[in-house]
Amino acid sequence: MKTNKKKSSKNSRYCTAPGNTAKERLRQFWDIFQKDDDVLVVINADPDALACAMAVKRLLRYRVKSITISYPNEVRRLSNITMMEVLKVQTEKLQSLKLSDYTKKVMLDSQPPHLPIFENMQFDAVIDHHPVTNSWKATYVDIRPDYGAAASIMVEYLRAAELKPSVYLATALFYAIKVDTHNFDKKARIADAISFRYLFDIANQNLVRKIELSELRMSELGYFKTALAEMKVSKGRLYAHVGRVRSPDILVIIADFLNQVHDISWVLVSGIHGERLVVIFRCDGYKRNAGKLAEKIFGEHGSAGGHREAARAEVPLKNLDLQDKIITTSTLKGLTTGHL
């Protein structure tokens, strides 16, 4: 078995060598588990993560004692709820589980620094497509930042295992690749296209459309009204703060909508969820890098990062020197302008 040893400032971890074949990666992944293992799959629930979790459950079905899919976040986005219901994704809230009940832990479509609740968990396997972060380790790591979706990686694993996905699993993976590549409008690899084409004849397109059309609740339209009323445009940059939100997912929907406006090079949309400021970044990803900008501005204060064209930051309000001021679009602009 060949591995590349990659070091961070605090810990080291082993990543599968880029030259490894899909079968070799699969074998390395399978080697972690034993028949009597109770496996906990941990995700931050969104389409890509849910599809990956379903794939891992299929890959380990006859190789371990039990598999539980868990997530810490509140799933409020209607399309995600619909996906879980229509495709019968069985999940548990992470906070309700006793971690010591599980002998192996797998993280998908994310990395331990992503959320504070993950930071003190030791993972046996991490599979992701986001930029590599530091200060953590796992026995098996397969991170491919150049892939458009983690689901594409899981399709390669399934094909290496010679396991044809069920209609539900294929539909989940197909939808995940559509979402994370924005129908291939975002940067993706030929590997994403190959996986997408493989799934096309297996996935149920009627179920995909049902999920896609379940996007907005009537009650969420008010956030659009606020964003349009409060937005400020300066030098091709559009800023909008929408105040308190029931779910950060609505900020993503608004940012993607505003990102379609002509002559806008940057979109920054923020809101307050709980005691955190959530900021969504969008840009063309050509000469700009949203992930690096998010980390540069908010990395020292909270969780921040993402891809070249799409990124996110979540910062505890107590970590921001706002002097008890009410956050407005002007506040958002002031926090970010000097870095753009």
Identify residue 44 by its one-letter amino acid code.
N
CATH code for the structural domain at 219-339: 3.10.310.40
pLDDT at 287: 79
Which residues lie below 8 Å from residue 178, measured CB to CB, with a gap of 6+? 196, 208, 212
For 181-199, letters b (16+ CB in 10 Å) and e give: beeeebbbbebbeebbebb
Give the SS3 label for residue 156. helix
pLDDT at 15: 53
Q: What is the pLDDT of residues 272-306, one digit of tens each?
A: 999 999 999 999 877 789 999 999 999 889 989 88
Least confident of 142-151, 187-196, 315-324: 315-324
Helices (H), 87-166: 150-160
Strand 138-143 versus strand 123-128 pairing type: parallel
Q: Which residue has the tokens 């991490």?
A: 126
Q: What is the pLDDT of residues 185-242, one digit of tens each?
A: 777 789 999 999 999 999 999 999 999 888 788 888 999 999 999 999 999 999 999 9
Would you give the end-to-end CA distance of the chain in angstroms? Answer: 44
pLDDT at 324: 57
Domain boundaries, the chain: 3-212, 219-339
* Other CB atoms within 10 A of residue 264 CB: 16
Q: What is the pLDDT of residues 10-67, one digit of tens each?
A: 333 445 545 579 999 999 999 999 999 999 999 999 999 999 999 999 999 999 999 9
Strand 303-306 versus strand 310-316 pairing type: antiparallel
262 conformational bin, left if phi > 0, alpha if psi -120 to 50, beta if neither? beta
pLDDT at 323: 60
Mean pLDDT for 134-142 is 92
Tokens, residue 108: 């998908």
283-289 contacts at long range (C-beta below 8 A, 24 or more positions apart) = 283/308, 283/309, 284/309, 285/186, 285/187, 285/309, 285/310
At 320, is the pLDDT very low, low, confident or very high (cuts 50, 70, 90)? confident
- pTM summary value: 0.70
pLDDT at 22: 93
Order of strands across the sheet that contains 310-316: 232-234, 237-244, 266-273, 276-283, 310-316, 303-306
Domain 3-212, what architecture?
Answer: Alpha-Beta Complex (3.90)
DSSP conformation class of 72: -
Least confident of 106-110, 283-287, 309-313: 283-287
- In angstroms, the CA 213 to CA 86 distance is 13
Least confident of 186-190, 246-250, 331-335: 186-190
Q: Which residue has the tokens 């796992």?
A: 138
174 touches 296 (CB < 8 A): no
Strand stretches in 72-108, DSSP E: 92-93, 104-108
- Given this chain, do its domains 3-212 and 219-339 carry the same CATH topology? no
At 151, is the pLDDT very low, low, confident or very high (cuts 50, 70, 90)? very high
- Which H or E run includes 229? helix 221-230
Tokens, residue 46: 């969104």
Mean pLDDT for 306-324 is 86
- Which H or E run includes 78? helix 78-86
Residue 9 pLDDT > 90: no
| Rounded (5°) CA angle 238-241-243 | 165
At 78, is the pLDDT very low, low, confident or very high (cuts 50, 70, 90)? confident
pLDDT at 243: 95
Mean pLDDT for 160-172 is 98
- In angstroms, the CA 150 to CA 108 distance is 8
- Compute the mean pLDDT over every residue in the chain, rounded to the nearest whole number: 90
